[in-house]
Amino acid sequence: MNMKTLAGVLTLSCGATCLSATSGFAAGAGAHCQDVGGGVLTNFLDPTHTEGTSSGDIKGAVGVQILSINGNVYHVQHHWVTESGDTIYVKDAFLTAFPTSDPNRVLADYLKGVDIIGGTGRYDGATGTLFAFGGVDLKLGQITLRYAGTVCFRPVPD
């Protein structure tokens, strides 16, 4: 893949991220939705050492475990705990890798996003979609991503 094509793919991905990160994207009746964004630095590939950090609007610890690989698409499972101790439940997702001139490093994009399907504490009943893109070092098993999206929280009872 040449650099012009790669730049086009990333531009399209960034555009999709911006379009999807609007208030009410995943809103249910009476839900309060919030745009979120930040970064993730975590280990990748080694299921025994998967915890890294997330910053921005969802601070905490996050890990990625690979369930399967089909060509350049990684079927992954996330483990996300906020700094306040809430757990965020996330559907399995698909991370697409785009090669670079270095065979050990790829660009990565969750083309269809990562869906939040609930959690504990503040995230109990939460829904939403996060889009993320960044870089992966396959040799070191590390990933760095930017995320943006919307999280909708269950209404607080009166």
Q: Has residue 140 got a pLDDT over 80? A: yes
Q: In percent, how much of the chain has pLDDT > 90? A: 62
Q: Among the listed ranges 64-68, 118-122, 135-139, which one has the minimum average pLDDT value? A: 64-68
Q: Is 158 among the domain residues?
A: no
Q: Has residue 117 got a pLDDT over 70? A: yes
Arithmetic mean of pLDDT over the chain: 82
Radius of gyration for the alpha carbons in the chain, expressed in angstroms and rounded: 16
- List beta partners, residue 136: 106, 143
pLDDT digits (tens, 9 = 90+) for 13-60: 444 443 344 333 444 556 799 999 999 998 875 555 557 899 999 999
**Whether 3 contacts 107, CB under 8 Å:** no
d(CA 85, CA 16): 30
* Per-residue pLDDT at 141: 84
Q: Has residue 77 got a pLDDT over 80? A: yes
**Whether 116 contacts 130, CB under 8 Å:** yes
Number of domains in the chain: 1
d(CA 24, CA 127): 11
* Per-residue pLDDT at 12: 39
What is the pLDDT averaged over residues 117-125?
96
* Per-residue pLDDT at 29: 55
The structure tokens listed for 122 are 């503040």
Which CATH number covers residue 10? 2.40.350
Q: Is 101 among the domain residues?
A: yes
pLDDT digits (tens, 9 = 90+) for 8-26: 444 334 444 433 443 334 4
Q: Among the listed ranges 6-10, 50-54, 75-79, 106-110, which one has the minimum average pLDDT value? A: 6-10
Residue 22 has φ and ψ, to the nearest 5°, of -105, 150
* Per-residue pLDDT at 47: 54
Range of the domain at 71: 3-153
